[in-house]
Amino acid sequence: PARYFDTRTTEPISFFLSSLEELLAWQPDTNDAFNVSAVPLAQRQPPLLSKRPRTLVCHDMRGGYLEDRFIQGSATRNPYVFYHWRYIDIFVYFSHHTVTIPPVCWTNAAHRNGVPVLGTFITEWTDGEKLCEAFLGGGEEAYRAVGEQLARIAQHYRFDGWLVNVENTLSAAAAGNLPPFLRHLTAEVHGAVPGGLVIWYDGVVQNGALKWQNELNEQNRVFFDACDGLFTNYNWKEEHLERTLGLAGLRHTDVYVGVDVFARGDVIGGGFDTDKSLRLIRQYGLSAAIFAPGWVYEHLGEENFLRNENKFWGSLAEYLLTHSICTLPLATSFSLGMGTSRFLDGKEEEARPWYDLSAQEIQPLYPEHGDRLSTSCCLQDAWCGGSSLRVQGTIDPGKERVAIRLFSLQMPAPPKLFLTLLYKLEGPHPDDLTVALELGTWNSGTCHRDNVTSLPEPNSWHHPRLLPAPPPGLAKLFAACDRGSNGWTSRCYELELQDCSLRDLSLLVSLRQPSPKETSFTCLLGELRVLDAASVAAAPPQVQGLAASQLWWQ
């Protein structure tokens, strides 16, 4: 069927629904198993519902369902990818189709990094008026059926809820039924999807007129009260934020103030000035909804996209709160889910472009330290997948080392950890440098507190002990200890800890001898693993009931 498979190549594709009839007729289908997300939402700290301001990203690019619709990837050169997951709370996939089901590759990548994904239910123009009249203009049976279908779709494809966007005038009857519809949809989504969300976009007001308010006020409050949050329109000024804060009360972090990166209309900021909007929003303790950050790709072009993307998100870093990983194992090869080649064990297997966001791995922090230190993606060389993490910087004269924070962690430390690292030093004097890992911890007494916004700085730093050979019985898992290949160096470490919590994981680059001159370095990270020794020693669960379907042999 053309809905589920590309008519040209027969490859499975992600899809949308174009009408109320298609939505009401939707049923799970044996052909759509490819569209079900295979990655559960990873836990992270603080959880979404903590009372700190959040950041929502609304992805709107050229109508959606571009190369990202190919579920098993495509040979796309210079595709659009998003990887600053540590800095955002919610990802919305937006298009102008009535029911936008997020392409499963986005759900997989976001979930792996702990970010929930919302689809979009939109009505607009004259067709939107007719559609709303059809399900909101009559009795509750019609709108309840729509709410139930939307919740079933999110549950079936394993994404996390909906952005609801009504951008057309409503009749008096339809306007009256809109708040109960939103309440019903929200209850259905909460029941069907753990941690599910429904967010309302600031379009129509209570009487059914299409009037963007750019704030929370008495005209749209009824919708805010009926669901999990409000995404405001973009043409706000500071007085709108002030009034919003006053009215939202304890729910002020459920207001996502809209920021259009394309800066259409009368807006503050946009483009590389988006930080101006964020600064104001955060002054009032409100959440932000960054709309169309794909501006970096669409406006500045594909060629230097990765550099520009780091520059854009780096400019916002001061106003974005980071998230911590709170479960082990942590294992990543830093792949962005794209590349100009595919690598395995440090060797190029295939030299052609590829794009598959489902293959994106857990992404680190991308800290901005000006010119002194930077982390970026390296497509030219990798241990596994399409890319490695390039860490560049300088060690000041007379200084011995520099630490680069890769991950924020928040979890009780197990009694014993194993860590593995694959790296490659580049540059003029690699033999003058050593590379190691550093773990920051704090005493358990200061651990789990509710609604924590700033965690205490680590009060102890640990340098795990280098293992010359694999731990007994674990030779297979740690096969490469102290034995690299294709120019990559492999290291295994162990660390024993007591009564403390893990806080930070950093890369430590040190000089063997302090130098009177500035020393610059480039280090590629190919793989990093942090493992709880107890669970590594346990036998892995056996795979059972393995079945294969939808095969096409070539």
Q: Is the pLDDT of residue 133 over 90?
A: yes
**CA–CA distance, 333 with 123 (Å, rounded to integer):** 41
pLDDT in tens, 328-377: 999 999 999 999 999 999 999 999 999 999 999 999 999 877 778 999 99
Q: Is the pLDDT of residue 248 over 60?
A: yes
Cβ atoms of residues 68 and 105 within 8 Å: yes
Section 185-208 average pLDDT: 97
- H-helix or E-strand containing 227? none
% residues pLDDT > 70 (the chain)? 97
- H-helix or E-strand containing 276? helix 274-283
pLDDT in tens, 271-288: 999 999 999 999 999 999
Alpha-carbon distance values, 533 to 44, 246, 280, 501 (Å): 21, 51, 46, 16
If you average pLDDT over every residue of the chain, what do you get?
Answer: 93
Among 127-131, 339-343, 370-374, 515-519, which stretch is predicted with the lowest mean pLDDT?
A: 370-374
Q: Is the pLDDT of residue 446 over 50?
A: no
pLDDT in tens, 76-118: 999 999 999 999 999 999 999 999 999 999 999 999 999 999 9
Range with top average pLDDT, 264-268, 338-342, 395-399, 510-514:
338-342
pLDDT in the model for residue 445: 54
pLDDT in the model for residue 441: 93
Could you tell me the residue ranges of all domains in the chain?
16-44+82-323, 330-445+458-537
pLDDT in tens, 314-328: 999 999 999 999 999
Tokens of 12: 């499975």
Q: Is the pLDDT of residue 451 over 50?
A: no
216 band by pLDDT with thresholds 50, 70 and 90: very high
**What does the chain come to in residues?**
554
pLDDT in tens, 158-167: 999 999 999 9
Which amino acid appears at position 18 of this protein?
A: S
% residues pLDDT > 90 (the chain)? 84
pLDDT in tens, 23-35: 999 999 988 899 9
Which superfamily, per CATH, for 330-445+458-537?
Answer: Galactose-binding domain-like (2.60.120.260)
Q: What is the CA radius of gyration of the chain?
A: 25
553 band by pLDDT with thresholds 50, 70 and 90: confident
pLDDT in the model for residue 450: 41
Pick the closest to residue 118 from 104, 105, 101 (CA basis).
Answer: 101
pLDDT in the model for residue 447: 42
Q: Is the pLDDT of residue 50 over 70?
A: yes
Section 397-413 average pLDDT: 94
pLDDT in tens, 526-536: 999 999 999 88
**pTM of the predicted model, to two decimals?**
0.96
pLDDT in the model for residue 452: 45
Q: Is the pLDDT of residue 458 over 90?
A: no
The dotted CATH code for 16-44+82-323 is 3.20.20.80
- 243 or 484, which is more confident? 243
**CA–CA distance, 442 with 378 (Å, rounded to integer):** 33
The long-range contacts involving 369-378, CB below 8 angstroms and separated by at least 24 positions, are: 369/393, 373/402, 373/404, 374/310, 375/404, 375/406, 376/306, 376/307, 376/310, 377/83, 377/306, 377/334, 377/336, 378/524
pLDDT in the model for residue 241: 98
**CA–CA distance, 288 with 274 (Å, rounded to integer):** 11
- 483 or 155, which is more confident? 155
pLDDT in the model for residue 486: 87
Alpha-carbon distance values, 472 to 195, 328, 469, 535 (Å): 41, 21, 9, 14
456 band by pLDDT with thresholds 50, 70 and 90: low
pLDDT in the model for residue 431: 87
- 216 or 541, which is more confident? 216
pLDDT in the model for residue 428: 77
Rounded to 5°, the CA angle 120-126-129 comes to 65
- SS3 of 424-486: EEECCCHHHEEEEEEEEEEEHHHCCCCCCCCCCCCCEEECCEEECCCCCCCCCCCCCCCCCCC
pLDDT in the model for residue 160: 98
